[in-house]
Amino acid sequence: MSNLYNNQPDKDHDPQSNTPPLPDFDRDPDDDTSLETGVRTSEADAADLHHFLNRQRSSTETDQPTDADFDYKSSPAEADFSHFSLEPLEDETPPKAEESRWQTAWSIVREVGETIILTLIIFFLIQTVVRNFRVVGTSMVNNLHDGQYLIIDKVSYNPLLTKYLGMGGPQRGDVIVFEPPNNPNEDYVKRIIGLPGEEVNVINGQVFINGVKLDEPFEPVPGTYTMPSPIVVPPGDVFVLGDNRNNSNDSHNWGPLPIGNIVGRAWVSYWPPDQWGTIPRDIPSEDATLKHFVGQFIPSASANNE
């Protein structure tokens, strides 16, 4: 390539190279003899340079998108993003909100219903099998006291259990809770003294069964009264007395008690704590050990004394 100003070959330019030589800026500025020739040559050189740059650009930007590949819009809202797509993963699809709410509500309702049903079943079983009872009055002193709490066994005297399972039924010495014939709206607590078919009599506070003095190891408070005449206990009845004989409204006042009126047998004393213990059922005669046991553990029972 010739020099830009003097149109002379460039000493440092390699004729075999495709790169155009740089202009010679060492020419004397006062030398304008070849200015016109230099101008024409510079136009040719500029054309060659433009061609070279285009060729370089095409070699490096062949794979790059051109302006024609994009659809420019005046605002982002008008841009066309149709060639982009986002699809949710199948296993990450969120559950329907309405179904989730219904499932949660149903779960709560079911749990509450199950709790209520279970509570009612337990309550029914407890009320069927046992019952608590508060002693009121002093008719069972010295063994049960006013304000003492008992657990009542309601199944021991059940006719079906007595008949088919061989359970004992009412026995002499049992402390029972019952509805008295003369006052069915209240519950009394007394002790069974006479059984069906037996003749019961009280003379000067001493109890006689079929003419034989009854040994009472539970140590009642002795009475002083005498019954007008002996009473034969009818079938299906029992004869009951309070342990505090002179201060008890019992069978010596209103007669034998129908077994059907019995609510249950006093089983355990649970309050106050110092009177906690079980209550023995029967009265073996001349049993000093049982006498001590009964005196120590039988808690005061509710006894109406009128």
| Catalytic residue status for 156 | no
Residue 296, class by beta-carbon neighbours within 10 Å (0-12 exposed, 13-18 middle, 19+ buried)?
exposed
Whether the upstream peptide bond of residue 3 has omega within 30° of 0, thus cis, is no
Catalytic residue among 139, 251, 269, 302: 139
- Chain-centroid distance of CA 234 in Å reads 53
Catalytic residue at 85?
Answer: no
Q: How many CB atoms lie within 10 A of CB 153?
A: 21
Catalytic residue among 154, 156, 190, 302: 190
Burial of 175 (0-12, 13-18, 19+ CB in 10 A): buried
C-beta of residue 210 within 8 angstroms of C-beta of residue 280: no
What is the C-alpha separation between 303 and 146, in angstroms, rounded? 8
- Phi, psi (rounded to 5 degrees) for 288: -65, -35
Euclidean distance between CA atoms 70 and 72, whole angstroms:
6
Kindly list the catalytic residues.
139, 190
